[in-house]
Amino acid sequence: MYWKIFSVVLASMIKTLFAPTIGFAAGLSFTVTFVATAIGAILGFVLFYFLFDKISNFYYKNRKKEMTVQRIKRARWVVTMRQKYPIWLFVFMLPVTSIPVMAVIVRRFFHHNKPVFALSIFVVIMFALVGCLIFSPIQYL
């Protein structure tokens, strides 16, 4: 039973929305599947959020900071996206992609805004609940 829960936790660290299918197919109950999915999603988000910070600090430490045309265009695009779209839109749309992508984007572009981290954790838990509600009929097959 513990291996089943562990596999749900590992799957939800990458893709939260579809991880409950593993739990329901393995015969776990709704509450156990939801708790395992939520814990795995939170662990995955926190792990990739802080791991990206360490990797980017290591990568950018020895790099020259030249302003090229490509970097200027990318910086302008980021500023335009931040001004044009609200933060909550990014946070609610990112779990559809995957947890590592969400964590990297939130860390890269919204690390200065502290409530975004808490909002991201809340959204990840909500996506775990939505995934469990959508795929719960699998346990009755």
Q: Residue 1's CB: how many other CB atoms inside 10 A?
A: 9
Digit-by-digit pLDDT tens for the chain (141 residues) are: 889 999 999 999 998 888 899 999 888 999 999 999 999 999 999 999 988 878 877 777 766 667 777 778 877 887 887 778 777 777 777 777 888 888 888 888 777 778 888 888 999 999 999 999 998 887 777
Query: What does the alpha-carbon distance between residue 69 and residue 47 come to, in Å, rounded to a whole number?
Result: 33
The full 3-state SS of 87-111, as one line of letters, equals HHHHHHHHHHCCHHHHHHHHHHHHC
Q: Provide the pLDDT for residue 44.
A: 93
CA distance 133 to 65: 48
